Amino acid sequence: MNQQTVIKEYTFEGRGLHTGCYAHLTICPAPENFGIRFLRTDVDVEIPALAQKVSRTDRSTTISEGDVQVVTIEHLLSALTGLGVDNALLKLDNVEVPILDGSAECYVRAIAPDGLLEQSEERKYITIKEEIEVRDENTGSWVKITPADSLSYDVTVDFNSRVLGVQEAHWKENADYVGRVAPCRTFCFFHELEALASRGLVKGGDVDNAIVIVEHPVTKEQIDKMCVLFGQPRLSVTENGYLSNLKLHFPNECGRHKLLDLIGDMRLVGGYLKAHISAYKPGHRINSAAALAVTEKI
């Protein structure tokens, strides 16, 4: 098939999940063989979305050029990959991509109805000759990239959680990304929130852009503290273990979000792989390491 780009410009705005900074993002058409690149318009620095540019993987994926960063790129890269976009220029006027509703749905619901612009050059698929495996012995996480005729993913998520249990999620190229993967929101555990805030993260987080899982019993004082942290007047815990009056899009929404993240992080190989990617307990650090391992083999 031929390469594709977006048919027009699409603009989004909002706060970043971790920095809390307000930003405007514009997804722009780009020529053949351009790939995916971010342009920090506030400092006029361009950063290609490549594994070699990853500088931080603490609860999101950050790429850098010198001391200029683009934070939390994974949801946007996942959306573009799921839609089939080969080339795009992503203009951003602050440090972090807006979190929006914590998923990739806002992007795909804007772009998908218009379709994509088919370009004159053929898509250049990335192939590998043998299986690549990356493991983290400390966490038990692993990612395997196996040569195949097309791109597909299998993910297993296990947080040893009584609320989540073990969740699996799957996707393959040309399957329904818009309806089955894109709506799945980011998540964290209630007991992590104070530690994340102390590290300067989740400054833009709230129950409208993240699923919060309550694994252990909590007190009213703890709930009140989270109300202050999130700037919410009232929060509660549902019977099934989630903060606030939350309705899941899918029983395995958290597992599907880990799949969403992996699709975005693996786009850092620089294009579309012809490979089957399987992962156990994936996260941004091991995802990015896997993408880098692929680039070192091609």
Active site residues: 284
Measured in whole angstroms, the distance separating CA 151 from the mean position of its chain's CA atoms is 17
* Amino acid at residue number 251: P
Q: Which residues pair with 187 in a beta bridge?
A: 211
Paired sense of beta strands 36-40 and 45-48, if any: antiparallel
Q: Which residues pair with 170 in a beta bridge?
A: 154
Q: Which residues pair with 71 in a beta bridge?
A: 62, 96
> Minimal CA–CA distance to 48: which of 58, 34, 61, 60?
34
Question: What phi and psi values does residue 158 have, to the nearest 5 degrees?
Answer: -145, 105
* Amino acid at residue number 160: N
CA angle 247, 114, 267 (to 5 degrees): 70
17 and 29 Cβ atoms separated by less than 8 Å: no
Question: What phi and psi values does residue 100 have, to the nearest 5 degrees?
Answer: 55, -120
Q: Which residues pair with 280 in a beta bridge?
A: 142, 156
Q: Tell me the C-alpha distance between 122 and 102, whole Å.
A: 33
**Under the phi-then-psi rule, with left for phi > 0, alpha for psi from -120 to 50, and beta for the rest, what region is 74?**
alpha
